[in-house]
Structure 1
Amino acid sequence: MFPTFDVEVVLPTYVTRNRSEVVALIKAFDTNGKAIKGDLILIVRTDHFYIPSKYRTKTAIDGSATLAINLADDLLIDHRLDNDNLELKVTAVVRDKLTGKQCNRTNTVKVTETDFKFQVITPSNAYKPGLKNTFVGKVCTQDGKPVADSGLQLKLKYGYSSNESEWRDSPLLLSPTNGLIKFDVFPPRDIYELVVKAEYMGNTYYIPSSRATTRSGHYMQVIRLDTTDITVGQDVKFVVNATEPIVRLVCEVMGKGDIAWAKSFDTNNNTGYEFSVATVPQMAPSARVLCHYVRPDNREVVADDLGFDVIPPLIGTPFAVNADTRPTKPGEMCATEANTRHNPFVDISGADIMNELKTYVEKPYSHLHWRSSATDYVFKDSAVDVMHNGFIKT
């Protein structure tokens, strides 16, 4: 009985159009680590809707084989195509010369316009005129690696119309730290458009932004004051800023699908108010603070929310888990060792529920730019159904 064998297709993390070729490394070994000798068929496809292409070649393989695919000649990828990113689907079919058995594997690689990309991490929702809006952006390679701190500066400009000649503020020169840049924008209350433009390494990026919507044109913003990690039992501090005086401020903290804390404050008609929340286990690992007030003149509800992380409390009994390997595959064995003291009962499960717990207060679409900018969505984003005799913008 002959052992089975597997095929691996190794590709670069990405490739740019201006490169002449992409190199694929094909590996074929049996379960005993012995190299497979035989025939290799490599099939490469593009998914471009206008000019789909397919390339096929055949060669011999002895454990591994390296093949170069010419982007222009073999796949007809050149600068005549639009700027949309392409994806190459590379399939390797290996036939063992000794047994005649066949195995195939597929991998993909993105073809991009440039080596770098710029994306906005925060804010996740729309900007609010009349308040300070802090933007955090990330400059990285196409595979997510941050640019070097000693690299070039990023040039950033913004204005309140699509006509750049009307932009008054001077360009900002920002040096990325671990790939991150941070800048503040104070859009006036009477503007309806915010355009942010970034330039890096000869490439231009336009940052998508949308204006928050309220019937009155007044807004509120919840900001976390401290930036240190919070453990259960510690206080976390917030400040609420608004474009008008707040009569009564109502705040709740949602944790694990339920209200973990709630309180209302008399703000003495101030436009800003600070408060603290004592964290409890229900808020770990993630929670969301939801604040709102009601405008006296038209009963409109103005709201904002903010997610924050809380580190779970430490277990009283020392406990450590080690594994003999990190990456593994379905069906493979993985040895796990648990070390503790005092002879406690240990229940071991192979499921990571940390991401699941975070979904209770953080929706998958919470950090996308196309999320709704209305007050109604602030409540929905916090998984709250609200019944109110006031007006809520939808």
Structure 2
Amino acid sequence: MADLSAVEICAGAGGQSLGLELAGFDHAIAVELDENAVNTLRENRDWDVRQGDVADKSIWKPNEYHGIDLFAGGVPCPPFSIAGKQIGATDERDLFAWAVETAGEMKPRALLLENVRGLSMPRFSAYRQYVKDRLRDFGYWSDWQVLHANDYGVPQLRPRFVLVAMRHEDAQWFEWPQETPTGDTVGTALHEMMAADGWLGADAWVEKANAIAPTIVGGSKKHGGADLGPTRAKAAWRKLGVDALGVADAPPNASHPVTFLPKLTTDMVARLQGWGREPEYEWDFTGRKTTKYRQIGNAFPPPVARAIGTSIANALNRKGKPKELADVENEVMHDRLYLALKNAPIALTEKELVKLSGEKMDSLAFERRMAMLARDFMIDEEDQLGGRAYRLVGFKGFTGQEDHERHARFAEMRARIS
């Protein structure tokens, strides 16, 4: 029986939900925008599942869950995706900073947010610093790690950037989960499914599909039917003996030649995401083939969510050995130039900011860094006798403001957001 409670936002079709449940968390509420994913959640669990924009307080009220054990979510990844434009804070889908502010309102014992690896890149160093500083303001220790699904029993690369935050008294007990690399390949994971309808080429196919899968890409409503990713990913799939130009309705059968290049079914894709490998990972997906594929492909693999959820649960239940408080409070600085801007009481020149930051950079590097900062932050510039001076005015992102332009863009794009 679960002895801890969780609120989950942007729950999707339940990858993180199932993993957290297996780690010992019972869902007080799950909130998701996409109707198909909501239907899947309701099909599998008798939870309080709400459909709609998580930032809309008519859908749910965060203050009603004050002090919950865990506030978790897989907030939208397009604002940070390497495959996208990396708009960040000005993307109407960005909910990362909003989730942090909401955690400050709810005061959960722990916060778990996962996103794409792009958020770990230098482009978003100031954004990460902003998040870490806000969590510190709210009284939380926090840390980020890139976790790879194949290190936690899933036969797929799938790197995810994971943020965990906790109150200091709980953080002393937290340890990132130990890696348990998968022994499966695409072939060994899917052999039985490929052979299910009598295809005589299944054994030979397993020998070719002898590596873990590339990252599965679920896509969005902006795109057409389901396929397994961009051009480079399709080439990687072909080397594994998989036709990535779509998703099949059924596995190959006895009428297909031994040399046939099969497509994956949605059940196969789910298996490569960690569903169905054991009875406790069984999950039913609702909707037509393309909507099922998107739900599966956009999910956080349940075994990875279970691993990080177990680490959080162990900390909250005081299992293991606590660290020294000084080790817990060790601070990582993600962007020293941003910190120099943030901490400056007045507008400072390039020379002053570079000196205050302690970084070494020439004027060209400084201009590039300032241009990058200006994508997520409001920066005033003024001419002084010593040269142009800069002052940080604010954060451009949505943190819950009722008059933020995000609402208008979100309403305009609502039918295409998934």
Is the strand fraction higher in 1 or 2? 1
Does the pair score TM above 0.5? Answer: no
Larger Rg, first or second structure (1 or 2):
1
Output the TM-score relative to the length of structure 1.
0.21
